[in-house]
Amino acid sequence: MKVIDARTMEHPEPFERVIDALSDLAEGEKVMLIINREPMPLYRFLLNNAYEYKTTAFPDGRFEIEIREAQPAKAGGQSE
C-alpha cells in the first residue's frame, strides 16, 4: 500500500500526490491518504474515474482514505 501523509501539505499538493500515486498503481494495490480534512474534491474525482474509497475519521481530526480501483460488477449485477 502506498501511503501519503498529507497532514502538513498545502492545497493542492495532497490532491496532486494522490493522482500521481494512482497513476502508478499495480493491479490490486491501494493508496492510503492521511489528511486533516475531508477531501471533497478528491472524492468527486475518484467516483468519476472508477476508483473506490473508504474514509475513516479519527477523534484527533485526521482522516484516512483508502483508495483502490473499482472492482467490476459480476454477471447478474452482483458485486463483492
Q: Residue 80 pLDDT more than 50? A: no
Q: Residue 76 pLDDT more than 90? A: no
Q: pLDDT at position 48, please? A: 96
Residue 57: count of CB within 10 angstroms of its CB: 11
CA 4 – CA 6 distance, rounded (Å): 6
pLDDT in tens, 4-52: 999 999 989 999 999 999 999 998 999 999 999 999 999 999 999 999 9
Q: pLDDT at position 74, please? A: 59
Q: pLDDT at position 75, please? A: 53
The reported pTM is: 0.86
